[in-house]
Amino acid sequence: MSFSLQFLALKYLSENYKEMGKGLHNLPYEIDYSVAIKKLAAMGAAVDTLTEKQREYLFGAEK
Protein backbone atom coordinates (compact mmCIF):
# COMPACT_ATOMS: atom_id res chain seq x y z
CA MET A 1 0.00 0.00 0.00
CA SER A 2 2.78 2.41 0.86
CA PHE A 3 4.44 2.05 -2.53
CA SER A 4 1.08 2.49 -4.26
CA LEU A 5 0.45 5.73 -2.41
CA GLN A 6 3.94 6.98 -3.10
CA PHE A 7 3.67 6.16 -6.79
CA LEU A 8 0.27 7.81 -7.18
CA ALA A 9 1.48 10.87 -5.25
CA LEU A 10 4.49 11.22 -7.57
CA LYS A 11 2.26 10.72 -10.62
CA TYR A 12 -0.12 13.42 -9.38
CA LEU A 13 2.74 15.82 -8.65
CA SER A 14 4.38 15.23 -12.03
CA GLU A 15 1.08 15.96 -13.80
CA ASN A 16 0.08 19.00 -11.72
CA TYR A 17 3.27 20.69 -10.53
CA LYS A 18 2.87 23.70 -12.83
CA GLU A 19 -0.42 24.71 -11.20
CA MET A 20 0.72 24.00 -7.65
CA GLY A 21 3.46 26.51 -6.98
CA LYS A 22 6.07 26.20 -4.26
CA GLY A 23 5.20 25.07 -0.77
CA LEU A 24 3.50 22.23 1.03
CA HIS A 25 0.37 20.81 -0.53
CA ASN A 26 -2.16 18.22 0.51
CA LEU A 27 -2.73 15.53 -2.04
CA PRO A 28 -6.29 14.85 -3.15
CA TYR A 29 -8.39 12.60 -0.94
CA GLU A 30 -9.18 10.47 -4.00
CA ILE A 31 -5.61 9.13 -4.11
CA ASP A 32 -5.82 7.63 -0.61
CA TYR A 33 -9.39 6.48 -1.14
CA SER A 34 -8.64 4.67 -4.41
CA VAL A 35 -5.73 2.75 -2.86
CA ALA A 36 -7.80 1.85 0.20
CA ILE A 37 -10.70 0.58 -1.93
CA LYS A 38 -8.37 -1.56 -4.05
CA LYS A 39 -6.66 -2.98 -0.94
CA LEU A 40 -10.00 -3.86 0.63
CA ALA A 41 -11.16 -5.50 -2.61
CA ALA A 42 -7.97 -7.58 -2.70
CA MET A 43 -8.76 -8.73 0.84
CA GLY A 44 -12.36 -9.57 -0.09
CA ALA A 45 -13.81 -6.64 1.87
CA ALA A 46 -15.58 -3.43 0.93
CA VAL A 47 -16.61 -0.10 2.40
CA ASP A 48 -20.21 0.01 3.56
CA THR A 49 -22.45 2.87 2.54
CA LEU A 50 -25.35 4.21 4.54
CA THR A 51 -28.89 3.38 3.52
CA GLU A 52 -31.38 6.20 3.15
CA LYS A 53 -32.96 5.23 6.46
CA GLN A 54 -29.57 5.37 8.22
CA ARG A 55 -28.82 8.78 6.68
CA GLU A 56 -32.15 10.11 7.90
CA TYR A 57 -31.49 8.78 11.39
CA LEU A 58 -28.02 10.35 11.54
CA PHE A 59 -28.73 13.67 9.90
CA GLY A 60 -32.48 14.06 10.35
CA ALA A 61 -35.06 14.09 7.61
CA GLU A 62 -35.23 17.41 5.79
CA LYS A 63 -38.81 18.59 5.60
* All structural domains of the chain with their residue ranges: 2-59
Confidence of residue 28 (pLDDT cuts 50, 70, 90): very high
In the DSSP assignment, the letter for residue 28 is P
Average pLDDT, rounded, for the chain:
92
Confidence of residue 1 (pLDDT cuts 50, 70, 90): confident
What confidence score (pLDDT) does residue 35 get?
94
Q: How far apart are CA 35 and CA 42, in angstroms?
A: 11
Confidence of residue 63 (pLDDT cuts 50, 70, 90): low
User: Looking at the predicted structure, is the pLDDT value of residue 24 above 90?
Assistant: yes
Helices 29-42 & 2-20 angle (0-180, nearest 10): 160
